[in-house]
Chains A and B, each alone.
Chain A
Amino acid sequence: MDGFPILSLMLAVPALAAIACLFLPADTARWTALAATLVDFVLGILLWANYDVGGAQWQFVEQGARFGFFAWDLGIDGFALMLIMLSVFLMPICIGASWRSVTNRVPEYMAAFLLTEVLMIGTFAAQDLFLFYLFFEAGLIPMYLIIGIWGGANRIYASYKFFLYTLLGSLLMLVAMLYMARTAGTSSIPALQAYDFPADVQTWLWLAFFASFAVKMPMWPVHTWLPDAHVQAPTAGSVILAGVLLKLGGYGFLRFSLPMFPEASGQLTWLIFALSAVAVIYTSLVALVQADMKKLIAYSSVAHMAIVTIGLFAFNRQGIEGALVMMLSHGLVSGALFLCVGVIYDRLHTREIARYGGLSINMPRYALFFLFFTMASIGLPGTSGFVAEFLSLMGTYQVSTWIALLCTTSIILGAAYMLYLYRRIAYGEITSEEVRGMSDLSSRELWLLAPIAAAVLWMGVYPESFLAPMRKDVAVLLQRIDRAAPPSDSNPTPGNPAAARAMQAHHETTPGEAHH
């Protein structure tokens, strides 16, 4: 693949298809969009197959022309590869999910999705600071349109809220980026990752980026746009929002905050930890009392994303790799959960949990998939969710036992709200005639859910496939940030067997002191 601009091609295919869609009738636009996303998926597989695991840090590098203040520089490392794979994998599924449920302005809808794909891949592949910024921020526009035009009843409020939040944070980031480019004399991301800013400047820059990434993540307390956006978005919009757009924040921390401002990251770890621990407990409890399925899953997303942030800022391999797997896993699992909601929403046109009940009786295949993704969401070993949660929390424990304890409560609270949801939807007696009339998964819906289930299982049983491409990048990152790692609160002292044996002997001579 030497010299072949595969990344540009992956951007060009959906971009051209998006333009084409605008001029096509609805049905042709659907097929065009599906074909384009499938082609991109195949290109993604080629990209992965040709990626040299353990090879150079930046691969498929393309140095293009300069346009004013930004350059068309593309290239990926393992992190970007995996997130691009996630995007191109979910995209055809999104198109398939909208096949019947979207009937209004189909060509524009398909074009918006294809544009989203371009911008997502671009964000992950950009190697120029301002190119990244363009893709990163422009990604909002199609999502804004998708919510605002094809969304639910209260879509206007939701779309503005979404835009307000995300844009406010971005302004500060842009200012910081301009400062960085001026000071370091380059806008190349790899170069900036090796540039050492003075520690006090780092803190300000870190906070500016944090403003943007925390909203995108979303972290508590700037998370309230997410439930509204999800509730109002069409199914496929929710899938892509939860699946990929929520990963932009984590990617930002990984690409910018940690390697460019390691000292500031180390100093401000407490902030990330505190907000994340609050988020896990706060949003889990809020999820428990939701009456709207999408809101419930949206709040659970906030809790899961908090596991990503603590993992990233654990400054060790388990934490960072766990956070990465969590990004991938959550992308698949929450995407699939939103699809599951979409399946029954298409039949009954309500997201209200109380309207459902007993779906296991007349929709057994649906109940099986829903159960599988529920279990993946609560981190059952054997699914991707476990690998993610386990590694991330393991990394956190090495820094702070308090934060690990607080965040591990997510395994209890997550089980509570997800199983409570599942019980209300799938178990019990069928509550109404309209529910009784609901049909099981169609083969189209089966084809949307089955690949995700396979991927979740694969990532849970053999995560090596996904960890291997990122391993060397984690090593590079760790090497860069290790000097700023926060201290551990565990600090085990070395053992002293001889002294202990003496104590043990003493203990044995006075048995029976532990009666009750």
Chain B
Amino acid sequence: MILAIVFLPLLAAIVAGLGNKQLGAFPAKLLTTGLLFVSCALSWPIFIGFMTGSLSASVTPVLHWIASGDMDVSWALRVDALTAVMLVVITTVSALVHLYSWGYMSEEPDQPRFFAYLSLFTFAMLMLVTADSLVQMFFGWEGVGLASYLLIGFWFRKPSANAAAIKAFVVNRVGDLGFMLGIFGTFLVFGTVSIPAILAAVPGEAGSTIGFLGFRADTMTVLCLLLFVGAMGKSAQLGLHTWLPDAMEGPTPVSALIHAATMVTAGVFMVCRLSPMFEASPDAMAVVRFVGAATCLFAATCGLVQTDIKRVIAYSTCSQLGYMFFAAGIGAYGAAMFHLFTHAFFKALLFLGAGSVIHAMHHEQDMRYYGALRKEIPLTFWAMMMGTLAITGVGLPFLDIGFAGFHSKDAIIEAGWAAGYPGVWFVGVLVAAITSFYSWRLMFLTFWGKPRWINSEHIQHAVHDAHDHGHGSHHADETHANPAKAEDAGDAPSQHGPSQQELKVGTGGYHPHESPLNMLVPLGILSLGAIAAGFVFAPFFIEAEHAGGFWRGALFFNEHLMHAMHEVPVMIKLSAAIAMLLGLGSAWYAYIRNTAFPSVVSDQFAVLYRLFLNKWYFDELYHLIFVRPAFAIGRLLWHRGDEKTIDRLGPNGVAWAVQLSSRGAARFQSGYLYSYAFVMLIGLTAAVTWAIAG
């Protein structure tokens, strides 16, 4: 069964990809989506099996892969509780995103390629989560990286999309450098790359030290930190996060699947999978905790001020991943996986909802040009509402009932206190307030207020087209041309862009249209997830009584911590809810009650505002210290090194010396010069050979 789950998407990708145009859009869509739904239908029974306890961990070998001495790896599919969680997340979101793309990509001429990439991604992601060895995990890791590269650059005519695709791949490779060195180090220490074998041997390595780059340090700390660099790259943690916002160049369903629900959580999955290793190194745990908390806060501050709807959600994703990492960093792996699980549903929902808004607003992505969409696209509005209620963690603290994020995020915040890290707890609460603010800001700007659509170029184009040529005559061109304009603006944020109240009010004669059914159904299903995934599944992921029986060793489950989580003081229990209300209240004040307020604040704190808007200038900094020097040094080495030094002293020098020694030759023409050198060498070789051998 697991073979079918993993390999059906691959089959779909191969057929749709190689068939491409000859196959046609409809069969390609039908095949990929159909097989994904089969995969999904097969995955849920496995997950339920682990919940009821009727299934236990298993490994299905497929093929021998690399055998080099002790380095012996097979292609094998491992299924345990941790994998089962990821299986349902991946196949469910992927199947729904496939379906959603029928509507969203319907104007796209190149559909088979798109669906093939989506299925290829799903296959790679499934290989990642079923990995039984670090090397196969790396295969999936790179495979999702490839699919991400292809999908970000799907609109390959756009220079910005190509740049974003390369950036995503290369920045991820920086993380992969750490991952690879981590695998090498792990093999060196344990003599194997099989995950269960490594985890079993971890306790015996306690107190051991290892040399690395001339230093000596605790073995497990070195290995965990190297592996964690890989996780930071894939999960866009602070320092290696710069690719994620740019990845929004890809079509929106891609953002939902890859850059929200699945691929970016691979790092969290990796840390949970290897949790016994991390548990053996308090220093590595401190780093995970710190990086997670820092990312959580950093990304939230960027999300506060972005105007592009997708970028707000992208930073929100980055920030939520930070939550997952600091949960892991305090030893609450169950809570980290739980937040990964619920986040997959509500964040995919928010992205697909945003896609539906963008679809309705004729590819306009700037929230400043939205407004008053609540009545126009009510179903999308309600779906987004469910997502927002989930991400901000709305719920009733003492009845323990609420939306998905209420269960998972609050568990992390409480666990932070219970584990004895008030600093982490404080960051968690602060970010909960910021999350609530930017999420409601998005909702208010988009769905409330007055329509500001007339200011949008996209809308003007749409109306113009409708008058001149009849709607839809330039569809193919627009899907390529229009997002380009919008997304370019996102890359270099306009510092003095119009604020909300400076814009004209008016519809511009445009009528937003609700999305078709194939886009609304996934929204509906994910809304259910956003509502219910929290309280239905909480017992299995984090409750001390049930969860041990669910995980059964698939990750390090700290029962003690999960108990303590429930015994935190009342104020701590309420803190997240209060933060959420504060965020909601201030967003309401700033974007509904007094819409002049945001510009007052941004003028007052101009430095901070610009810092956030420009994403703390990471891109500029990296460009300055990595990208430009790489090209400059490359040019220098080429001209000064190869041409001016090596060639001049080497072959050209020899030819020159030969020419000097054969005085009479006044011809400087290079051909002759080299002839002399050539003849002399041949002669010398022949003479030496003859003299010694003869």
Residues on A close to B: CB < 8 A?
Answer: 68-69, 130, 156-157, 160-161, 163-165, 167-168, 170-171, 174-175, 178, 221-222, 224-225, 227, 282, 285-290, 316-318, 321-322, 358, 360-361, 364, 375, 380-382, 386-387, 390-391, 393-394, 397-398, 401-402, 404-405, 408-409, 411-413, 415-416, 419-420, 423, 426-429, 461-464, 467, 488-497, 499-501, 503-504, 507, 511-512, 514-516
Known contacts A408-B181, A411-B173; A168 and B670 CB within 8 A of each other: no
A394 touches B184 (CB 8 A): yes
Q: Does B377 contact A (CB under 8 A)?
A: no
Q: Does B138 contact A (CB under 8 A)?
A: yes
Q: What would 9 more interface pairs be, CB under 8 Å, given A156-B674, A178-B693, A322-B68?
A: A161-B651, A221-B650, A287-B634, A288-B631, A375-B146, A401-B213, A419-B166, A499-B207, A516-B294
B170 touches A419 (CB 8 A): yes
Known contacts A412-B173, A462-B64; A171 and B293 CB within 8 A of each other: no
Of all chain B residues, the one with the shortest Cβ separation from A161 is B651
A382 contacts across to B, CB distance below 8 A:
139, 143
A397 touches B185 (CB 8 A): yes
A497 touches B212 (CB 8 A): no
A224 partner, pick from B159, B170, B184, B650, beta carbons under 8 A: B650
Q: Does B20 contact A (CB under 8 A)?
A: yes
- Interchain nearest-CB distance for B676 vs A (Å): 10
A286 touches B638 (CB 8 A): yes
Known contacts A322-B68, A496-B208, A507-B282; A405 and B630 CB within 8 A of each other: no
Q: Does B664 contact A (CB under 8 A)?
A: no
B569 contacts across to A, CB distance below 8 A:
none
Known contacts A463-B66, A489-B211, A495-B205; A398 and B651 CB within 8 A of each other: no
A462 touches B63 (CB 8 A): yes
B670 contacts across to A, CB distance below 8 A:
156-157
Residues on B close to A: CB < 8 A?
Answer: 20-21, 63-69, 71, 75, 135, 138-139, 142-143, 146, 149, 153, 156-157, 159, 162, 165-166, 169-170, 173-174, 176-177, 180-181, 183-185, 187-189, 203-214, 219, 282, 286, 289-290, 293-294, 419-424, 630-631, 633-635, 637-638, 641-642, 646-647, 650-651, 654-655, 670-671, 674-675, 677-678, 681-682, 684-685, 688-689, 692-693
Cα separation A495 to B63 with both chains bound (whole Å): 34
- Interchain nearest-CB distance for B637 vs A (Å): 5
B174 touches A495 (CB 8 A): no
Of all chain B residues, the one with the shortest Cβ separation from A285 is B634
A375 contacts across to B, CB distance below 8 A:
146
A380 partner, pick from B146, B646, B678, B692, beta carbons under 8 A: B146
A164 touches B189 (CB 8 A): no
A380 touches B422 (CB 8 A): no
B204 contacts across to A, CB distance below 8 A:
495, 497
Known contacts A393-B180, A489-B211; A412 and B688 CB within 8 A of each other: no
A171 contacts across to B, CB distance below 8 A:
684-685, 688
A412 touches B205 (CB 8 A): no
B183 touches A394 (CB 8 A): yes
B69 touches A318 (CB 8 A): yes
Known contacts A289-B638, A514-B289; A405 and B211 CB within 8 A of each other: no
Cα separation A501 to B188 with both chains bound (whole Å): 23
B422 contacts across to A, CB distance below 8 A:
512, 515
Can you name 21 A-B pairs with beta carbons within 8 Å?
A160-B677, A163-B681, A174-B689, A174-B692, A178-B693, A222-B646, A318-B69, A360-B156, A390-B135, A390-B180, A397-B184, A401-B212, A401-B213, A411-B173, A412-B173, A423-B166, A461-B65, A488-B211, A490-B188, A495-B203, A514-B286
A393 touches B184 (CB 8 A): yes
A394 partner, pick from B139, B187, B630, beta carbons under 8 A: B187
Instruction: State the main secondary structure of chain B at its contact with A.
Output: helix
B651 contacts across to A, CB distance below 8 A:
160-161, 164-165, 224-225
A492 touches B180 (CB 8 A): no
A321 contacts across to B, CB distance below 8 A:
68-69
B633 contacts across to A, CB distance below 8 A:
285
- Interchain nearest-CB distance for A386 vs B (Å): 8
A398 touches B188 (CB 8 A): yes
Q: What are the 9 tightest A-B residue pairs by CB atom distance, in nearest-first order?
A: A500-B206, A511-B420, A515-B423, A160-B674, A397-B184, A500-B207, A285-B634, A496-B207, A317-B69
Cα separation A174 to B647 with both chains bound (whole Å): 25
- Interchain nearest-CB distance for A104 vs B (Å): 19
Cα separation A234 to B558 with both chains bound (whole Å): 65
A512 touches B162 (CB 8 A): no
A157 touches B681 (CB 8 A): no
Of all chain B residues, the one with the shortest Cβ separation from A144 is B678
B213 touches A402 (CB 8 A): yes
B692 touches A178 (CB 8 A): yes
B156 contacts across to A, CB distance below 8 A:
360, 426-428
A415 touches B169 (CB 8 A): yes
Of all chain A residues, the one with the shortest Cβ separation from B645 is A221
B139 touches A381 (CB 8 A): yes
B208 touches A493 (CB 8 A): yes
Of all chain B residues, the one with the shortest Cβ separation from A290 is B638
- Interchain nearest-CB distance for A199 vs B (Å): 25
B69 contacts across to A, CB distance below 8 A:
316-318, 321
B188 touches A397 (CB 8 A): yes
Known contacts A394-B184, A411-B176; A427 and B157 CB within 8 A of each other: yes
B142 partner, pick from A161, A380, A409, beta carbons under 8 A: A380
Cα separation A170 to B219 with both chains bound (whole Å): 46
B142 contacts across to A, CB distance below 8 A:
380-381, 386
B646 touches A515 (CB 8 A): no
B157 touches A428 (CB 8 A): yes
A391 touches B71 (CB 8 A): yes
B677 partner, pick from A164, A322, A411, A497, beta carbons under 8 A: A164
A178 contacts across to B, CB distance below 8 A:
692-693
B209 touches A286 (CB 8 A): no
- Interchain nearest-CB distance for A297 vs B (Å): 15
- Interchain nearest-CB distance for A233 vs B (Å): 17
A491 contacts across to B, CB distance below 8 A:
210-211
Cα separation A157 to B66 with both chains bound (whole Å): 44
B678 contacts across to A, CB distance below 8 A:
160, 163-164
A289 touches B634 (CB 8 A): yes
Known contacts A427-B157, A492-B219; A286 and B207 CB within 8 A of each other: no
B68 partner, pick from A288, A317, A427, A428, beta carbons under 8 A: A317
Cα separation A166 to B121 with both chains bound (whole Å): 46
B688 touches A174 (CB 8 A): yes
